[in-house]
Amino acid sequence: MKQTVSGSCHCGAVRFSCDIDLSTPTFRCNCSICLKSRFWLAPVPAADFRLEQGADELADYGFREQRIRHRFCRVCGIKTFGESSNPAFGGRFFGVNVACLELSPEALANLPVAFADGRNDAQRQPPAITSYL
């Protein structure tokens, strides 16, 4: 069941809300950017995401094929979400940074986590080792 959850960067310049089902898997990935930034992704369909504040404080980062628009706060540097399109996530979606969501420690601990082998472009399978993610 979806619920509305708010989120923000560290300094609060960027704020968003989304309607999210906290019983669906979140993702930890071993691709170069997720690994280095420790990004924990929750996919949210575009229709369920609202940027509430800070559009002009967002900067973009893209690499390789530029398939994902990585968005971060230019004030504090926190990556709040990414934007992309993937049929597995229902088309256009936002990859919300779970760490930016206003959730209790208990809610965070209960989120289901799936692992993706992004390093080898095998997002539908976990990497051989996941304990470091």
Instruction: Check the CA dihedral 96-97-99-100 and report its sign.
Output: negative
At residue 63, the pLDDT reads: 77
Nearest one of 92, 100, 97 to 46, comparing CA atoms? 92
Provide the β-strand partners of residue 94: 44, 83
At residue 33, the pLDDT reads: 86
Taking a C-beta distance cutoff of 8 angstroms, is the pair 63, 75 a contact? no
pTM > 0.85: yes
Length of the chain: 133
Q: How far is Cα of residue 39 from the mean position of the Cα atoms in its chain? A: 7
Question: With a cut of 50, which residues of the chain have pLDDT below it?
Answer: none
Q: What residues contact residue 71 under an 8 Å CB cut-off, 6+ apart?
A: 58, 59, 60, 79, 80, 81, 82, 83
Reading the block at residue 19, the tokens are 């309607």
Buried b (16+ CB within 10 A) or exposed e, 59-88: eeeeeeeeebebbbbebeebbbbbebeeee
Give the domains, in start order, of the chain with CATH numbers. 2-120 (2.170.150.70)
Question: What is the residue type of 59?
Answer: A
At residue 45, the pLDDT reads: 95
At residue 66, the pLDDT reads: 65
